[in-house]
Structure 1
């Protein structure tokens, strides 16, 4: 017995519905896979702080302004030297989205390679400027950068600013900006020059580097005045941020600034702190095997009489 026209129509509609359901399921699976790969790519671009120096505490926080992205144009990094010193960087690429994130990741990785090769902050900035000029997606794109290099004794910091806010020095007594000459951002001129500022460090200290998203939110939920540096300094003093900063301290800081803004940050925010204290020669040798080996090699035994 042949199927009736009604049965054929029902079967055809069922087949069409099944095909649509299969196509929709395949599309959703493809979207889920694309989202998973996107998240893995973003996660691979997030900074990984492998800081091999037990005499320094390093903490950082990163908040991207775009909810669909884990990262933005802000970047940061840290490198310890065999001789006992270390250097840290923080930067902010203009704009938002994947283009800014890609350039920020390129600058972070390039700087790390340069620091490991022993380039000074000024030498690294000149090369980073060339990278911005060559790799940016738009001729108007630029990046601000702050680099701090601390000596093996932990007694002195060299600060270089390329259009970036000065880092903050937190001591047992106060919180203040670290004084340094203000230079132009990366990507503005073909052959810019920068200068180094030297800051003496007390016995105990913390250095805080941050991007402008931390202070460019609103001071109150209904808008109006920006949060600004003065409010940030008052908050750090009132909350007892001194010569040692913890992960919990940074979380509390971001929560306070976010609450003042009345919601999520309007710009990417990165904060990095390093805390330490002055080291004696014995402490330096204990913390740096390579430095200890160099000292041993320089010891010449006295001849027997």
Structure 2
């Protein structure tokens, strides 16, 4: 960008004499440059700080905003070398002083400026990735806690797979605790939507669930209190949460389940798996009369349960953009791996659903909680 035709001509001649192959476009003003940049992608901008419609560092700021990924090299006069240094401090990749530039030097300066710009972008991307990893770690500590168990002989295996959309944890959450009466309580939930706000809400509800359970609040009363927390903390009235919460009694056979709009669960008996659909009430946060009645299940000796969010089975089948794996497909996968236990079963269940379905960049988060009583020796 240069408003002086003579200086523009000199730059063109210098570039033609050098060894750098370029396609040069001349803009006489900032407004004309913006028009050119909107029509084509450029790798480097030569910017005169004394344009008719922009001067000094304000011209540099406007050009950096307009040029996107392009490197910016500032052109200054003989008496303005300090302005060039200031421009580099303000974000330009380099500066050149008019009248002191040779063709080879100009080409080398532009080449190095583009390389520096690429290095800067790589550093920014690396920093963003590091921040995302740190954010994931903080969210993971809140969403995916260590089970709080004391004496009961129960195996717990949990997994979380973040959506491929961003790689950032979303609104799926779970928890497992044992109370002073040797009852093991477990929960899994899913905040509608995906992103940091949903994840933060999931953390809030997960901590509230653990606090209420350890305070002796369970079942329907527990869900009512969680709905109160949800209505107070959510960002909008359209946000709702599906959840299953259950209590495994100390007799190691009886399980009481309360469902708030959440999918069913898998019941394990020996090396067989069945699908269970306990009684269900509305999801938390919906404008409906909320009643959640318990359903009692009976487990065999050494039996178990697997809870999950809908991202595990709402996956598209290959070759058909409309059909999903669904509950029957998930059950078929589970039965193929029913002989496995604990961590091995959970890993096989997730990998089996992924292998049975098409790669899907829009696939939802997946959370799985597997609980199984240890058989007496």
TM-score by length of 1: 0.79
SS for the counterpart of 2:303 is strand
Matched, 1:112 2:210: yes
Matched, 1:187 2:258: no
Structure 1 CA distance, aligned partners of 2:154 and 2:254?
A: 14
Structure 2 CA distance, aligned partners of 1:257 and 1:44?
A: 26
Aligned to 1:137: 235
TM-aligned CA deviation for residue 11 of structure 1: 7.0
Q: Where do residues 72-151 of structure 1 align in structure 2 (5 Å cutoff)?
A: 72-151=170-249
Residue among 249, 252, 262 paired with 2:345 = 249
Please, what is the CA RMSD of the aligned residues?
Answer: 3.1
Aligned to 2:275: 177
More moved, 64-73 vs 120-129 = 64-73
Aligned residues: 274
Structure 2 CA distance, aligned partners of 1:258 and 1:180?
A: 26
SS for the counterpart of 2:278 is coil
Residue among 12, 17, 24 paired with 2:88 = 17
Q: Where do residues 264-303 of structure 1 align in structure 2 (5 Å cutoff)?
A: 264=360, 266-277=363-374
1:91, 1:143 within 8 Å by CA — same for their partners in 2? yes
Q: What are the superposed Cα offsets for residues 52-77 of structure 1, whole Å, 9 maximum, x if unpaired?
A: 24611100111121543431111111
SS for the counterpart of 1:204 is coil
1:180, 1:197 within 8 Å by CA — same for their partners in 2? yes
Structure number, greater radius of gyration: 2
Aligned to 2:156: 58
Matched, 1:202 2:273: no
Structure 2 CA distance, aligned partners of 1:35 and 1:177?
A: 37
TM-score by length of 2: 0.65
2:254, 2:297 within 8 Å by CA — same for their partners in 1? yes
TM-aligned CA deviation for residue 275 of structure 1: 0.8
Structure 2 CA distance, aligned partners of 1:276 and 1:78?
A: 14
Q: Which has the higher contact order (CA 8 A, sep 6+)?
A: 1
Matched, 1:219 2:290: no
TM-aligned CA deviation for residue 14 of structure 1: 5.6
Question: Given the superposition, is the C-alpha separation of residues 30 and 277 from structure 1 closer, same or farther in structure 2, using an over 3 Å criterion?
Answer: closer
